Structure 1
Amino acid sequence: MTTQQVDVLLIGGGVMSATLGTLLNKLDPSLKLTMVERLDHVAHESTDGWNNAGTGHAGYCELNYTPQDSSGTVSIERALKINANFELSLQLWSTMVENGELPEPTQFINTTPHISFVWGEKNVAFLRQRAEKLSAHHLFEDMEYSEDPEVLRQWIPLVMEGRDPSEKVAATKIPYGSDVDFGSLTRNLVNRLTQNGGLDLKLNTEVVDFERNRSDKRWLVSIRDRQSGKTSMIDAGFVFIGAGGGSLPLLQASGIEEADGYGGFPVSGQWLVCKDEKIVSKHHAKVYGKAAIGAPPMSVPHLDTRIINGQPALLFGPYAGFTTKFLKKGSKLDLIKSVSTDNLFPMMSVGIHNMDLTKYLISEVMQSHDDRVATLRGYFPECKSSDWTLAHAGQRVQVIKKDAKGKGKLEFGTELVAAADGSLAALLGASPGASVAVFAMLEVLEKCFADKMSGGWKQAIKTFIPSYGESLIDDAALLKQVREHTLSTLRLK
């Protein structure tokens, strides 16, 4: 059996692995990188344009990032953090566009105003408070707010057409929000790495097993070609598991102690899609509303202008559903196989204490096409059922982990799990996902390449991510400088 020796093994051909590979190649072009992807091309699961919202998640319009407590107070801390983290992604992409390492920006990112829209007196009061708090901070100082139906007709004509004029409505708007084709972005990042010799890409290849050598902190990873059935070995100094929903079983297979207690709750998604040019041309925004009670963050309803593989479309959703698969092209046994003695109790605890979520998913699964269109009419009152078709989105696996009392809790964000010796790391979870890939992969470098970071990598990173190591939340002048540059370079103004 052949054995290939590499410095870094990237498992999964999505935006996370592509971003980490890009950062490592920039910091040390001599590193030998290998990427294995179980499908026949990269960016075909969660990263594919049809399998995610495509929103450049910056906290501009996503109401679930600004929760309201029982006293009615809106918290903006998470929105500030996500916004600052997305700015890191914009800086890297901007630098790579300037250097000719990424193509013309509109091939992967396009200006799409980010709008929050609500109706009803209580929701309007919530949005008003949210807008007041956010716009007072320099990260959100360009946010516009209006309760004037005439203004809203200019912003979102489809949403306002045919709406009851007596209904109380409100919206916020950020004009330089973005729609990102993460599939196109990832393919371009991987193509650059393979063409400059920085990456050995193995498609149709799945990981079979892990063996850890504690003496030299290296990993012997068994892989199998899915077409020929032949197996081989990769001897890697560092392993990154960025396989989307498939990360959890691979992390469990690694056997690292830090994986104990982790489980996953899979959620599927669907979109209503309209490609009628007359309708699509009337809407140019991402319009996010409030989620239903019990709904996971990935199910916050939104009516989106999308550009996927260069083609415009209008999407509404996503509609959630329950599945036992961890990947869209996975197995129905994924959930069952992930249950172990280490995570059984946390998973049972989460099931018992999240009945609202269970009821919500059941109700979503039972919906008819007319039921889905009825929900759409909250955002497009005059829509016709015949103009919309159903498309299946990607799978998401929400993180289940032990809490301080040893019970389980459900996490809706992303979480990095790394071995104590820094030889392996895995990224779990979903929201806000791809948008903050650069921040997440910088965290991998900080945790797993600490010596290299202190030895010069930190300064090197600032050459292509100027604000790295500084706080955009605290430094208004720095934000203005980097934001003006990235919006101009990426043509988002």
Structure 2
Amino acid sequence: MNTNVGDVDPVWVEEFSSVAKVIKTDVALIGAGIMSATLGALLRQLEPNWSISLFERLEAAASESSDPWNNAGTGHSALCELNYTPMDANGDIEIAKALSINEQFQVSRQFWAHAVDEGMLGVPDEFINPIPHVGFTHGAEGVDYLRKRHAALASQTLFEGMEFIDDADDFAKRLPLMGAGRDFSDPVALNWYDQGTDVDFGALTQQLLNYVGREADLYYGHDVRNLTKQSDGSWVVKVRNTRTGEKLRVEAKFVFVGAGGGALHLLQKSGIPEAKGFGGFPVSGEFFRCTNPDVIAEHSAKVYGQAAVGAPPMSVPHLDTRVINGDRGLLFGPYAGWSPKFLKTGGIMDLPKSVKPNNLIPMMSIAPQEFGLLKYLISELAASPIDRLHTLQDFAPRAVGEDWELITAGQRVQVIRKTGVGGSLEFGTAVVAAGDGTLAGLLGASPGASTAVPAMISVLEQCFGDRFDGWKGALTTMIPSFGQKLNDNPALFREMWDWTNKSLQLTTHDQD
């Protein structure tokens, strides 16, 4: 154990008479999701002598956003997600965001491969498996878009091997569930990438925390109630054991808030000026989960379509094969719902409690700016079961309701950032770090989990600037392409691709 029980602070005892102990630690991680697990694993490699303590409100790791049934699970790498390659006003495909996200995913992939090689992670197929990633459109305009997208991406190193398919017979052969019963007088097209992956971020998180927990204390069923900065720059983290009611005082030199939708409240409580002006807009997701093994067996791909006109990027429909606990599953969605909760296990006062004087105007300014989002949410809330089934039938024409059950996935809290006198709604992730580097947190959603490693390296760089240069050698050992763009270096990409394929036991990818 690397944490120490210290003397009880008299002030704390006076305010919280049931406090049993004070925990002193170098690093306090709040939340047991993929972000905290990744940061803990990186720090364990970089600073093995540092003490680490993790606090999770729920009784198990990855029980919120990192759970494979709660949104996370595709291995976002911009291979099939069409919202990362929009068409501009001139009809050209913008690929900068796709390249950036794919580069980040390659960093995560390398770290996972290193972790397997070093025994930090166990059997790879428990958390990562090969699966084609596919972009899908129909109609003349959609076909033209995918043709242009393929032309723009296929010449890029990171997207070599992507295919453009507009032949009906080939479509039906590759995607039998989607081809059966389809009227091919409506033209269809695919951007097909055979070497995509499915990632079970719940299993990955658990494996990473198994490694971190060898030399750290992991506290499940412990709710973080407050954060207070001390005069020496350290933090006091107030924690309550949800089972016994015991209250803990945690004294930490560095705090990371990786609490998913709960991060905003804790960052606000911390009082750091960098968190002022941030707000959050919660959106819940629902999916159809297939219950018929025969139907599941007819589809083996992650197929992403286009969002409806005026709908937000998070609404992109997808028919998604996932491998969870060794079994294949099939999801379709998302169907948006709405709840004021910031976590699936949160409370209905989460949204009202997040409204502060410093973020009131940014949050109020969003409604007139995001009319399309509001219209989309209203239409989704009004949708009947038959409406939802018809949406599924755009992908799988012969789908019947009895083969699918509607499940509620995790909550997403989209970032509202103060801009000028108003605010803007963001659909990515944002690292919020204290100016002195003693505290950081992560806000936002997609691409989220898939870019956890580069996101946490960003935290390290922002918060440990005095040490970061000294860590670069170790980071390069873990991530051999560290500091380089693989898209600009085909030889290095092929070397990294072959290595990660071998270590992660994925299908060999022939780039020649």
TM over 0.5: yes
The aligned residue for residue 220 of structure 2 is 203
The aligned residue for residue 438 of structure 1 is 453
CA RMSD of superposed structures (Å): 1.1
Alpha-carbon offset, residue 17 of structure 1: 0.1
1:103 pairs with 2:118:
no
Partner letter of residue 38 of structure 1? R
The aligned residue for residue 475 of structure 1 is 489
SS of the residue corresponding to residue 116 of structure 2 reads helix
Partner letter of residue 109 of structure 2? L
Query: In structure 2, how many angstroms separate the alpha carbons of the residues matched to 1:296 and 1:94?
Result: 34
Q: Output one character per residue of 1:232-279: Cα deviation in whole Å (capped at 9) or x when no partner.
A: 111101000001111111110100000110000000001101131211
Unaligned runs of 5+ residues in structure 2 are 1-18, 508-512
Alpha-carbon offset, residue 460 of structure 1: 0.7
Contact 1:18 1:186 in 2 (8 A): yes
Q: Output one character per residue of 1:175-194: Cα deviation in whole Å (capped at 9) or x when no partner.
A: 11111110011011111221
Partner letter of residue 323 of structure 2? I
Which one of 488, 501, 504 corresponds to residue 490 of structure 1? 504
SS of the residue corresponding to residue 488 of structure 2 reads coil
Contact 1:325 1:331 in 2 (8 A): yes
The aligned residue for residue 16 of structure 2 is none
Q: Output one character per residue of 1:409-452: Cα deviation in whole Å (capped at 9) or x when no partner.
A: 00000000100000000100001000000010000011111111
The aligned residue for residue 24 of structure 1 is 43
The aligned residue for residue 161 of structure 1 is 180
Query: In structure 1, how many angstroms separate the alpha carbons of the residues matched to 2:421 and 2:94?
Result: 28
SS of the residue corresponding to residue 439 of structure 1 reads helix
Query: In structure 1, how many angstroms separate the alpha carbons of the residues matched to 2:340 and 2:63?
Result: 19
Unaligned runs of 5+ residues in structure 1 are none
The aligned residue for residue 193 of structure 1 is 212
Query: In structure 2, how many angstroms separate the alpha carbons of the residues matched to 1:297 and 1:430?
Result: 11
Contact 2:312 2:372 in 1 (8 A): no
Query: In structure 2, how many angstroms separate the alpha carbons of the residues matched to 1:53 and 1:173?
Result: 21
Query: In structure 2, how many angstroms separate the alpha carbons of the residues matched to 1:13 and 1:292?
Result: 35
Contact 2:291 2:405 in 1 (8 A): no
The aligned residue for residue 452 of structure 1 is 467
Which one of 348, 366, 389 corresponds to residue 382 of structure 2? 366
Mean Cα deviation higher: 291-300 or 240-249: 291-300
Contact 1:416 1:428 in 2 (8 A): yes
Q: How does 1:215-294 map to 2 (within 5 A)?
A: 216-294=232-310
1:348 pairs with 2:364:
yes
Structure 2 length normalisation: TM-score? 0.94
The aligned residue for residue 147 of structure 1 is 166
Contact 2:66 2:72 in 1 (8 A): no
Query: In structure 1, how many angstroms separate the alpha carbons of the residues matched to 2:180 and 2:144?
Result: 23
Which one of 198, 212, 226 corresponds to residue 179 of structure 1? 198
Query: In structure 2, how many angstroms separate the alpha carbons of the residues matched to 1:419 and 1:132?
Result: 43
Query: In structure 1, how many angstroms separate the alpha carbons of the residues matched to 2:103 and 2:173?
Result: 29
Query: In structure 1, how many angstroms separate the alpha carbons of the residues matched to 2:314 and 2:201?
Result: 16
Query: In structure 1, how many angstroms separate the alpha carbons of the residues matched to 2:33 and 2:310?
Result: 29
Contact 2:341 2:411 in 1 (8 A): yes
How many percent of aligned residue pairs carry the same amino acid? 50
The aligned residue for residue 399 of structure 1 is 415
Query: In structure 1, how many angstroms separate the alpha carbons of the residues matched to 2:308 and 2:347?
Result: 29
Sort the Cα spacing of 1:488 and 1:275 in 2 relative to 1 into closer, same or farther, 3 A. Answer: farther
Alpha-carbon offset, residue 125 of structure 1: 1.0
Structure 1 length normalisation: TM-score? 0.97
SS of the residue corresponding to residue 59 of structure 1 reads coil
1:213 pairs with 2:213:
no
Which one of 421, 433, 457 corresponds to residue 418 of structure 1? 433
Partner letter of residue 297 of structure 1? P
Which one of 14, 35, 39 corresponds to residue 58 of structure 2? 39
Query: In structure 2, how many angstroms separate the alpha carbons of the residues matched to 1:427 and 1:458?
Result: 23
SS of the residue corresponding to residue 505 of structure 2 reads coil
Alpha-carbon offset, residue 16 of structure 1: 0.1
Contact 1:37 1:202 in 2 (8 A): yes
Partner letter of residue 201 of structure 1? L
Query: In structure 2, how many angstroms separate the alpha carbons of the residues matched to 1:154 and 1:483?
Result: 28
Alpha-carbon offset, residue 71 of structure 1: 2.4
Q: Output one character per residue of 1:72-92: Cα deviation in whole Å (capped at 9) or x when no partner.
A: 221000000000000011111
Q: Output one character per residue of 1:338-384: Cα deviation in whole Å (capped at 9) or x when no partner.
A: 00110010001011211110110111112222111100001001111
Mean Cα deviation higher: 306-315 or 26-35: 306-315
Contact 2:146 2:190 in 1 (8 A): yes
Alpha-carbon offset, residue 309 of structure 1: 2.2
Partner letter of residue 320 of structure 1? A
Query: In structure 2, how many angstroms separate the alpha carbons of the residues matched to 1:434 and 1:128?
Result: 29
Partner letter of residue 87 of structure 2? Q
Alpha-carbon offset, residue 53 of structure 1: 4.4
Mean Cα deviation higher: 49-58 or 321-330: 49-58
SS of the residue corresponding to residue 402 of structure 1 reads strand
Partner letter of residue 433 of structure 1? G
Query: In structure 2, how many angstroms separate the alpha carbons of the residues matched to 1:270 and 1:294?
Result: 20
Which one of 348, 366, 369 corresponds to residue 332 of structure 1? 348
Contact 2:341 2:350 in 1 (8 A): yes
